A and B are shown apart, each in its own frame.
Chain A
Amino acid sequence: MSAAALLKDRQAERAEPLLKVHGLSRLYGPEKGCQDVSFDLYPGEVLGIVGESGSGKSTLLSLLSGRCLPDAGGIDYRRKDGRWVDLYSASEAERRTLLRTEWGFVEQNPRDGLRMAVSAGANIGERLMAQGKRNYQELRAAGIDWLSQVEIDPLRIDDLPRTFSGGMQQRLQIARNLVSGPRLVFMDEPTGGLDVSVQARLLDLLRGLVRELDLAVVIVTHDLAVARLLADRLMVMRRSRVVESGLTDQILDDPQHPYSQLLVSSVLQS
């Protein structure tokens, strides 16, 4: 397909939301957790969630990905086949299938998202095997292809992830998620534990992959520079509520809510 035809195809697909979130709440205590969150997410759109620790960012991510259930509210997801699923009335098995086919989840700590006892290649192949691919040559080819896409030497395919550096482990986790061609990926502080030089490389890689694969992403981060680089739009959370949302550069350059202004003005200028 030509680039222009591909673009047209994407535009048609992008006209309808992928995810509709309405009135989502889950409270562990007063203002602990998240409450009354509503938004639509469109294909290819990158939504950043920013805010201080304890503001409810991670709770929201767990709710969105169906890992925990809300006290109130709901989520509708439009599947690849066009059918809408009500996430919380779907069976546990159906949610798990979604999470390892059409969705991905990149954990802050790669050790939580990888299988540390099996090789890099096996980590990448796992989702494909779950989808019924059994041909060893194909799985291995996919492993080699994805290792090079995330800038890891393909010769390391048989090595265990614990022999990798933190940055490599994070890139391996990304490959493991993207191999199944997901449409929606959740990321929890993906650059959190990495040193600055490694962060820049990972961000650049993520930015390229998100565009190339036209991924919708919900990314939780406390780093506003990461948000600026990756997110199309932002939601600012404070004490379990969304206090402001809008276009990323507008929120960062002209924040309206007192808390957003405090957040933006607290960043050191480099």
Chain B
Amino acid sequence: MNTLIEVQDLSKTFTLHQQNGVVLNVLRGLNFSVRGGECLVLHGQSGAGKSTLLRTLYGNYLPAGGSIRVLHEGQWLELVGAEPREVLTVRQQTLGYVSQFLRVIPRVATLDVVMEPALGRGWDREKAKARAEDLLTRLNIPQRLWQLAPGTFSGGEQQRVNIARGFMVDWPVMLLDEPTASLDETNRKVVLELMNEAKAAGAALIGIFHDVAAREAVADRHLDMTPVEMTTKELLQC
């Protein structure tokens, strides 16, 4: 399979202007690439920057330097320094992101929340609805909830609605931030199945999984994110 995402010398710093300008170097000199059908698992302790890396890849955090290139509609596109509208089309067509948390939009029904990525790509409503209903059924969201806005659902239900939304369309590259965390055994199996289906369909997956069983079920490679000691020069800059 082809390489679908390639990261070179990626770094991310946070400058906290409200806290005496403290500079945090969270990511430094990261290099990796992921091929279609492959799952790269981010490895490292809490605070090592795993979620920061996923958010940086998605364009949610602004990289300090380096390069993130994705194969978008047959062409390589550099995401570092890309225009907002370019990032938005990449998010619509190429790059999916599933976290544990659903950002609820007031008054929008569960079924519509799940269908949205497909409608954004121009699917017709019937086809999108059939796929959304299938996913919600697989993830054990009772049918009586489908027409309700997920704002009042339990944490676990919201998480599963978010997963259904995340797997609604095929993404060439998927970023997964602990999608199986705190799910019961039955639902965790469903999510693992969905991830393996995505891999079989040729997606490149980059994920964080604290749960060992989940990690073993999908991982092909690991990226070690143990923080590297800073050089004296860098310490002086801080």
Report the separation of the CA atoms of residues A135 and B185 in the bound assembly, to the nearest whole angstrom.
65
A204 to B16 alpha-carbon distance, docked (Å): 34
Within 8 A of B (CB), among A1-25: 2-4, 6-8
Option from A7, A8, A201, A232 in Cβ contact (under 8 Å) with B107: A201
Choose among B14, B60, B85, B124 the residue that contacts A250 (Cβ–Cβ < 8 A): B60
Residue of B nearest to A231 (CB): B84
**Bound CA span A123–B123, Å:** 36
Contact B106 A200 (CB under 8 A): yes
**Interchain CB contact (< 8 A) of A6 among B16, B85, B106, B122:** B122
Whether B88 contacts A3 by the Cβ 8 Å rule is no
Q: Say yes or no for B233: interface residue by CB 8 A criterion.
A: no
List, in ascending order, chain A residues with CB within 8 A of B88's CB: 232, 247
Q: Which residue of A lies closest to B108 (CB)?
A: A204
- Bound-complex Cα distance A262 to B16 (A): 10
Task: List B contacts of A232 (CB < 8 A).
Answer: 84-85, 88
- The residue that A2 contacts in the complex, of B17, B18, B124, with Cβ under 8 A, is B124
Q: Which residues from chain A contact B7 at a C-beta distance below 8 Å?
A: none
> Which chain A residues (226-270) contact chain B, with CB distance < 8 Å?
229, 232-233, 246-250, 253-254, 256-258, 261-262, 265
The answer to whether A250 and B105 touch across the interface, beta carbons within 8 angstroms, is no
- A45 sits at the interface (CB 8 A): yes
Q: How close is A96's CB to chain B, nearest CB, in angstroms? A: 30
Chain B residues closer than 8 Å to A7, beta-carbon distance: 121-122
B28 proximal to A (CB < 8 A):
no
Q: Which residue of B lies closest to A233 (CB)?
A: B84
B60 contacts A204, C-beta separation under 8 Å: no
Residues A197-238 near B (CB distance < 8 A): 200-201, 203-204, 207, 229, 232-233
Chain B residues, CB < 8 A from A4: 122, 124
Select one of B55, B84, B85, B107 contacting A204, CB under 8 A.
B107
Is there a chain A Cβ closer than 8 Å to B172's Cβ? Answer: no
- Chain A residue with Cβ nearest B149: A204
Q: A140 CA to B146 CA in the complex, in Å?
A: 36
Considering the chains assembled together, what is the distance between the CA atoms of A245 and B43 in angstroms? Answer: 33
A-B contact count (CB 8 A): 60
Taking a contact as CB atoms under 8 Å apart, the answer to whether A254 and B61 are in contact is yes
Q: A3-B123, A42-B85 are in contact. Are A246 and B62 (CB under 8 A)?
A: yes
Q: Give which listed residue, A201, A203, A246, A262, contacts B18 with CB less than 8 A.
A: A262
Determine the distance from Cα of A250 to Cα of B56 in the docked complex, in whole angstroms: 9
| Chain A contacts for B62, CB-based, 8 A | 246, 250, 254, 256
Q: Complex formed: what's the CA distance from A3 to B123 in Å?
A: 7
Q: Are A261 and B17 within 8 A (Cβ)?
A: yes
Measured CA separation A204–B123 after assembly (Å): 22
Is there an interface contact between A200 and B85, defined as CB atoms closer than 8 Å?
Answer: no
Rounded to whole Å, the gap between the CB of B96 and the closest CB of chain A is 15
Whether B60 pairs with A254 at a CB distance below 8 angstroms is yes
Q: Are A203 and B122 in contact, with the CB atoms below 8 A? A: no
Q: Does B150 contact A (CB under 8 A)?
A: no
CB proximity of B229 to chain A, nearest CB, Å: 25
The closest CB in chain B to the CB of A45 belongs to B85
Q: Is B36 an interface residue (CB 8 A)?
A: no
Query: Once bound together, how far apart are the Cα atoms of A7 and B15, in whole Å?
Result: 40
For A233, A247, A262, the residue with the greatest tally of chain B CB atoms inside 10 Å of its CB is A247
- Asked whether any CB of chain A lies closer than 8 Å to the CB of B111, the reply is no
Q: Which of A2, A250, A256 has the most CB of B within 10 A?
A: A250
The docked-state distance in angstroms from the alpha carbon of A204 to that of B109 is 12
Residues on A lying within 8 angstroms of B by beta carbon are 2-4, 6-8, 42, 45, 200-201, 203-204, 207, 229, 232-233, 246-250, 253-254, 256-258, 261-262, 265
Subset of 8 A-B contacts with CB under 8 Å: A3-B124, A7-B122, A203-B106, A204-B106, A207-B105, A246-B62, A247-B87, A254-B62
| Top 4 closest pairs, chain A to chain B, by CB | A7-B122, A258-B17, A233-B84, A200-B106
